[in-house]
Amino acid sequence: MSCHIVFTFSLPFHSQPLPFSRHKPPYLLRATSSASATIAVDGVPSKLISQSRSPEWWIDSLRSKVRANLLREAVLTYIEMIVLGIKPDNFAFPALLKAVADLQDMDLGKQIHAHVYKFGYGVDSVTVANTLVNLYTKCGDFGAVYKVFDRISERNQVSWNSLISSLCSFEKWEMALEAFRCMLDEDVEPSSFTLVSVATACSNLRMTEGLRLGKQVHAYSLRKGDLNSFIVNTLVAMYGKLGQLTSSRVLLGSFEGRNLVTWNTLLSSLCQNEQFVEALEYLRGMVLKGVEPDGFTISSVLPVCSHLEMLRTGKELHAFALKNGSLDENSFVGSALVDMYCNCKQVLSGRRVFDGMFDRNIGLWNAMITGYAQNEHDEEALLLFIEMEGSAGLQANTTTMTGVVPACVRSDAFSKKEAIHGFVIKRGLDRDRFVQNALMDMYSRLGKIDIAKHIFREMEDRDLVTWNTMITGYVFLERHEDALLVLHQMQNLERKASEGAIRVGPKPNSITLMTILPSCAALSALAKGKEIHAYAIKNNLATDVAVGSALVDMYAKCGCLHMSRKVFDQIPFRNVITWNVIIMAYGMHGNGQDAIDLLRMMMVQGAKPNEVTFISVFAACSHSGMVDEGLRIFYNMKNDYGVEPSSDHYACVVDLLGRAGRVKEAYQLMNMMPLDFDKAGAWSSLLGACRIHNNLEIGEIVAQNLIQLEPNVASHYVLLANIYSSAGLWDKATEVRRNMKERGVRKEPGCSWIEHGDEVHKFVAGDSSHPQSEKLHGYLETLWEKMRKEGYVPDTSCVLHNVEEDEKEVLLCGHSEKLAIAFGILNTSPGTIIRVAKNLRVCNDCHLATKFISKVVDREIILRDVWRFHHFRNGICSCGDYW
């Protein structure tokens, strides 16, 4: 041989032929006995009829049954031939081996292989050998494939095609390409089938290498003039999988022989690369060119409607599927429709599709279970799961469990959450990557992030979903620094993959970006947020509605309202979440009128506001002091917008009134709330107002109600203690703190964050653990002197401890936002905007001090507290001292 393919493993193949009679499966034994029985047909024994037929008749009968897909009948015909002593020939074995391959019966295949040798076709017949390669490929015995191929003395084109195709089916991509090189070295001309397999192998290599070799295959096809539809379709898929969609588009446009499969392949590639809008444009172009979509087209495009929440387009595709019969013929269409309706929050419509399907395979059940789980109809998901395993007799697979596990986590009816992990192990599904991802998510939501991290570390094969799940877990638990660290590790692997150091690395997608951007927002990590935005633009993800909405939110929460609006204006398809985010953005920056103008624009453009929209609007009115406008919208919500006021809306309006000092009106509104409403949120807003305006009388009433409703929430005790302290009632304040301690309720410490370089620095009130802590305190003392000369007098009323005035000033100096601002001044060049985020409401003294700092050091300081933004410049704050 001029070229030898080396395999470094033992070959699990029996070199000696197995005796046919000793290894028959039960149905063969029954068939043999029945075949030897004498059955009369029209008075003539069937045995005599069988013996009178020629060998050619038997072989033709065998081959015709295989062509008709009557596979077991073909095997029975062969058995009867052997019983009657009729010798199979070079035409019988390929047909018989094809039948056994389609049955995927390894034991039977080995018996037939033994007969191949017995009748003398083991070495000389290349046709039989080629069929044996196909048999062992379908039965999953890679070692036997190579053993058979290596014994073929005169290999033809089909032999090499069979081997290369086999290597691809075993996902041994590099070996498939090596086999292709050997084929060329032996001067065997490749066919279009060869090139299809080779292009498939190229598409599964790392991007750089795959593109280099894939282009060579493309060039070879052009040089040979063999660019038929099979090859073009495979090349379109190859370029799409390797992220080169431009090449896929060019191929489709330049190939005159493009057919439905070509269009479907490009549509699938666009969807896989999350080019959803373009996928719809190509679908429209396909229809305009007279190419009628089939079931595969519809099942490929329906996820686009899901992702973009284009319910109307999804319904049009549903109607088309009903009209042309795709829904009856293709179970994938039914599953895709269920998925589309559930993603568009139309769960009942999804269930109607499910109920209307006669042939419910496991994929359809999984789609409905997952649809219920995604919409948090958890009991329905679990009941359907039980029905599937019980009434339908189907056993859950890995996809089923990815829907069931989240439902178990959320369902109150399923108390022992971790028991589902035991069920997964019992069924042998615990090593599956998708199930492991679901389990990671489960433990994250249960607050057991260390177990999720353990599963993550132990996984042999982490995919993009794995990385996204780990990031989501940290974000869910507000461990934002850890989330950014995981993203950094992920990007390092992607970089190594692009450099060729590893085969493939996880490439962040739209889910990654929309998940991590809230961490950038929470930490005011603007530089990291801009880096992610640049990545989104480079990878055509910035116009995605979910990513776009997250970017709008990130820029707003990092203090860049103009960038937030710019991104909003560039999103081609805006959903209600996008509108809610931009309205909330203007509100938290104190631009209430702009927020209301956006509400009107939203209505004009046909977007329907929901409950969250009005929470955003009322918050905007509250931070801008637009009390009357907010009340007008509240009392006309149902008539003007079709939205019924909820307990959250009452809480917002209580805050609106209370922040404006109209505490008694707020209290009266509380008493007007429907009896069945949850009043905790409204009481909490009113207690905050009582603290701001030192209303002791109502504050005590409100606190008593709140502590009864939510005895473990620290802020209720803290606000009441602060009200007592402000009134000089130190004994009562101490008593509240004692009760808080006895109940084991811990106050959340004040924390502030500031981004510098690639790091986010965290400061805690009174903490001196930061490396620059001593330097920062020294600088603040110097700064204090300059501020005093400008007229700054510390507001010691913010120190709610019964200590001397000078000690109160020392305590004020250690507030976290002051430390973060000092760090920003010392570590950035003059003129740089300082951006700080805080987890609590900024106190009066820090607000006053920051105004003086901005004037003394001539810096713009943007401070975000738990409620809103404060833009300090030249001694003035954007809030107008109303917060």
Domains of the chain: which residue ranges? 1-189, 770-877
The phi and psi torsions of 763 (rounded to 5 degrees) equal -125, 135
CA pair distance 579, 595, nearest whole angstrom? 10
Burial 783-820 (b: 16+ CB within 10 A, else e): bbeebeeeebebbbebbbeeeeeeebeebbbbbbbbbb
Largest CA distance in the chain: 126
CA pair distance 195, 340, nearest whole angstrom? 36
| The one-letter amino acid at 160 | W
pLDDT for residue 809: 62
CA pair distance 828, 755, nearest whole angstrom? 11
CB 579 within 8 A of CB 552: no
| Mean pLDDT, residues 407-411 | 91
CA pair distance 306, 628, nearest whole angstrom? 40
* Burial of 513 from C-beta contacts in 10 A (0-12 / 13-18 / 19+): buried
CB atoms < 10 A from the CB of 692, how many? 16
Which residue stretches of 68-105 are H helix?
71-83, 92-103
pLDDT band with cut points at 50, 70 and 90 for residue 808: low
| Mean pLDDT, residues 696-704 | 92
3-class DSSP assignment, residue 876: strand
DSSP string of 732-792?
HHHHHHHHHHHTT--PPPPEEEEEETTEEEEEETT---STTHHHHHHHHHHHHHHHHHTT-
- Which helix (H) or strand (E) segment holds residue 111: the answer is helix 106-118
Strands 861-864 and 834-838: parallel
Best CATH choice for the domain 1-189 from the list 1.10.3470, 1.25.40, 2.60.40, 3.30.930: 1.25.40
3-class DSSP assignment, residue 793: coil
Task: Look at the pTM and tell me if it is higher than 0.75.
Answer: no
- Look at residue 496 and tell me whether its pLDDT is greater than 90: no
Q: Which of 248, 174, 247, 234 has its CA nearest to residue 204? A: 174
Q: pLDDT digit string (tens) for 723-774?
A: 988 888 988 988 998 998 888 888 888 899 999 988 889 999 877 889 999 9
- Which helix (H) or strand (E) segment holds residue 789: the answer is helix 773-789
| The one-letter amino acid at 768 | S
Tokens of 197: 């397999």
Q: Taking the mean position of all CA atoms in its chain, how far away is CA 723?
A: 46
Q: Taking the mean position of all CA atoms in its chain, how far away is CA 582?
A: 24
| The one-letter amino acid at 381 | A
Q: Which of 554, 414, 398, 421 has its CA nearest to residue 475? A: 554
CB 372 within 8 A of CB 381: yes
pLDDT for residue 254: 87
| Mean pLDDT, residues 568-592 | 93
**For the chain, how big is the Rg over CA atoms in Å?**
36
CB atoms < 10 A from the CB of 881, how many? 11
Cα four-point dihedral sign 458, 463, 466, 471:
positive
Percent with pLDDT over 70 in the chain: 90
Q: Taking the mean position of all CA atoms in its chain, how far away is CA 264?
A: 24
- Look at residue 37 and tell me whether its pLDDT is greater than 70: no
Contacts of 549 (CB under 8 A, 6+ apart): 514, 571, 575, 577, 578, 581
CB atoms < 10 A from the CB of 485, how many? 13
CA pair distance 748, 767, nearest whole angstrom? 14
Least confident of 4-13, 48-57, 187-196, 596-605: 4-13
Q: pLDDT digit string (tens) for 232-246?
A: 999 999 999 898 889
- Look at residue 502 and tell me whether its pLDDT is greater than 70: no
| Mean pLDDT, residues 261-278 | 89
pLDDT for residue 52: 63
Strands 40-41 and 869-873: unpaired
Strand partners, 871: 862
pLDDT for residue 39: 34
pLDDT band with cut points at 50, 70 and 90 for residue 801: low
